[in-house]
Amino acid sequence: MAKTAQAVLDMMKKENVLVADFRFMDFIGLWQHFSIPAREVDLATFENGLGFDGSSIRGWQTINESDMLMKPQADTAFIDPFYEHKTIVFICNICDPITGEDYTRDPRNIARKADQYLKGLNIGDTAYFGPEAEFFIFDDIRFDQNVHEGYYHIDSVEGRWNTGREEGPNLGYKPRFKEGYFPVNPTDKYQDLRSEMMLALEAIGIPVEAQHHEVATGGQAEIDMRFDELLPMCDNMAKYKYIIKNVAHKHGKTVTFMPKPLFGDNGSGMHVHLSIWKDGKNLFAGDGYGGMSQTAMYAIGGVLKHARALLAFACPTTNSYKRLVPGYEAPVNLAYSRRNRSAAIRIPMIHTSEKSKRFEFRCPDPSCNPYLALPAILMAAIDGIVNKIDPGSPLDKDIYDLPAEELAKVPQAPGSLEEALKALEEDHEFLLKGDVFTKDVIEKWIDYKLNNEVRQIDMRPHPWEFALYYDI
């Protein structure tokens, strides 16, 4: 895709593009957009931006300061594969219309500043991220809650709970609980659908390394993008969710990135791989534990030290903490290890070349806003490097089989979103360095999540409470 505004305009004319669609990530993590006729786009559009009402976007402006600008970034342009009329998409930065300054609560702006902060410290010039987002493909989802009832109902032709259902005929081959990783078809019913998702991602310029069924029954899946630099990867994560949801929708399926939609089987995580480079050299490669450098160990120390606060961004929903419980693959113990998937940080040992050395933070989940979660992880790693934070000794045992007295010494992830937000309130100075995250971002995030999510869940009866308490 062309990189300059003029080149994009020339391409639009050559390709007979009819519609221009402008997108930005809201504060919580949902892509927003509006469209104009393609003929209305000119060089001034890129320079001056387009106005919109910021008071209607979650967590942003008040009604008396509602006017905002979105400025399309020419190098993000791609042709949308789903619209009937040929449409070009631009990802936008958000600005104040009076001062022209970048808006502090624009998540994309935060990712840009984190990248600049890394370069400014002269620690490294590039941070590479490789998030592995999991998701579920369902056939049907119904949910509601009001004054006298509350329920959800999920269905999937792959669901193990449907082995006895009349399907006219029921052909079986439904993955057993925790055994979806990864039998061939006909047990895996979504190979072709995942391949279509993979090829759709590649068609808009996102390289994919692998696609496969995941552990849970009911259509859990994973498609892994190739690693990239921080800002492009955040953009790619937004595109990733969009492509996957819309390919599924085209086939009458529904996709969710909700971390824990099914009780009793694995949830969906987003393991995040990170390495920092300088002058073309991987700073994490060395001759220490797991083939890592001392710089890498300090970075691990920073992520572990700030992990509880990080999860306010990386596991940002009340549902996230239904996944972060002992007994499943999701780690709740804040330790590091090579190979051991029960540790919060794993050093992969499958690839041993210098270029492949990295660590994997396994706590995050795909409900996060990538423009907030990935910069926060980077800021914690940078803090570890700058302050030479020792991560302690590795924990190479199966953490879930540790004796109680030994397990008690291992720090724990928060048990709820409220705990994570409290940790963020107490530990966020590392995020404010370089003005990457600002005080108003931290305060608004905590306030929004507490009042719009945590308190709302607290006030509503849960179906299982009736099983526990109705006959008291």
179 carries an active-site annotation: no
33 carries an active-site annotation: no
Tell me how far CA of residue 311 lies from CA of 183, 327, 358, 425, in angstroms. 32, 19, 20, 12
Q: Report which of 452, 377, 444, 383 is spatially closest to residue 104, judged by C-alpha positions.
A: 444
Neighbours of 116 (CB within 10 A): 14
Residue in 341, 390, 396, 425 annotated catalytic: 341
Do residues 285 and 293 lie in contact, with contact meaning Cβ atoms separated by under 8 Å? yes
What is the spatial distance between Cα 218 and Cα 211, in angstroms, rounded to a whole number?
A: 16
Q: What radius of gyration do the chain's Cα atoms show?
A: 23
362 carries an active-site annotation: yes
Length of the chain: 472
**Which of 386-390's residues contact partners 24+ apart within 8 Å by CB, and which partners?**
386/121, 386/123, 387/298, 387/302, 388/298, 388/301, 389/298, 389/301, 389/302, 389/305, 390/297, 390/298, 390/301
Tell me how far CA of residue 99 lies from CA of 19, 55, 69, 95, 190, in angstroms. 30, 18, 11, 8, 50
Count how many Cα atoms sit within 13 Å of the Cα of residue 75 in the half-sphere of its side chain.
5
108 carries an active-site annotation: no
What is the spatial distance between Cα 241 and Cα 270, in angstroms, rounded to a whole number?
A: 12
465 carries an active-site annotation: no
Backbone angles phi, psi at 418, to 5 degrees: -60, -40
Residue in 228, 362, 365, 428 annotated catalytic: 362
What is the spatial distance between Cα 156 and Cα 256, in angstroms, rounded to a whole number?
A: 13
Partners of 270 in beta bridges: 133
What is the spatial distance between Cα 457 and Cα 171, in angstroms, rounded to a whole number?
A: 39
Residue in 26, 80, 196, 214 annotated catalytic: 214
Residue in 105, 108, 271, 306 annotated catalytic: 271
Q: Report which of 336, 340, 338, 312 is spatially closest to residue 324, judged by C-alpha positions.
A: 312
Residue in 80, 188, 222, 365 annotated catalytic: 222
Residue in 10, 15, 42, 53 annotated catalytic: 53
447 carries an active-site annotation: no
Do residues 342 and 331 lie in contact, with contact meaning Cβ atoms separated by under 8 Å? yes
**Pairing label, strands 126-138, 220-225:** antiparallel
Q: What angle do CA 347, 322, 405 make, to 5 degrees?
A: 60
Residue in 132, 158, 224, 365 annotated catalytic: 132
53 carries an active-site annotation: yes
Residue in 360, 383, 418, 453 annotated catalytic: 360
- With H, G, I as helix, E, B as strand and everything else as coil, classify residue 266: coil
- With H, G, I as helix, E, B as strand and everything else as coil, classify residue 371: helix
Residue in 80, 106, 115, 134 annotated catalytic: 134
Catalytic residues: 53, 132, 134, 214, 222, 271, 341, 360, 362
